[in-house]
Structure 1
Amino acid sequence: MNNMENKKQEELQQVVGELREAQQNVEILQSQSEELKNSINEIESTKETLEGIEEVEAGTELLVPLGSGSYLPVEAHKPDKVLMDLGADLVAERSPEKVSELIDKQKKDIEGSLEEIQNRIKKLNEKIEELRPKAQELIEEAQSGQQTESEQISDREG
């Protein structure tokens, strides 16, 4: 293999490496995007539940999900406080209105993060589309170079 072929082989390896890395990054970002979308759905569900609870009359029986298909029947009263998870095993009492404001802010923050991730995915996909033809061209050059070598060897043997 001559010096030119070595350089082409190195360039091909570099392009293929960049292509793989970009594809892996897209997969990671798509997974993060799905997680953020799930968080947004959870926030929207919480918001709907908060709004629905305000309309429930005192004394109405509600079923609180415990998990694994189990529910606890409870009697509703007009909620004047909601317990909100602050993280790190901390919980705070907040008014339903305050919780609604806080989850609206969370949703807005998550939507901003989701938009950033989607922009990064778009840029990576553009890079992938740019690298694919270059990789294909280098592969074809490498294959035609191998065919030429084979032909030269055949000519020498013949």
Structure 2
Amino acid sequence: MARPHSRAEFSRNLALFSVLAHLAVIAVIVFFLVSRGDPFFLDLLLIVVPVTAAYFLAALTWLSVDDGRSDRRKISPQARIAIGAVVLAVFAVLLAVPIAKSTGDLAAETAKLTVGGVETVFGAALAMIAKEFFGARIAGSKPQGG
């Protein structure tokens, strides 16, 4: 039987994965910007980089404040799977957009709207769970529910 994960451990992994995945998306966009010379990819970069910076600062704060060892609250396997699936889907879309645009299968405006919309929805979803997973520990208050 797998070892149950604490919420702190899960949220630290989620924060780290989100930052690394955003960096991978940036790398793909930069690759297409350099190799194709299409200014469209600069537009995409200008959408993704500020969001990445925000995630990076939030993750850095979370990762530097607490190592999570004292957190005894657990996260259910179902919640881990559901949240993990959503995060993977978001980054699959974010990677697919510049690739599809580079092959000519996606209109520029559609691509920008897709990336902007996905980042907005992902940010809103993280904001909804941030207090539960990140905020209580960062703010120094006692963990909820444990």
TM-score range, shorter chain: 0.3 to 0.5
Larger Rg: 1
More helix by share: 2
TM-score by length of 1: 0.35
TM-score normalised to the size of structure 2?
0.38
Q: Which has the higher strand share?
A: 1
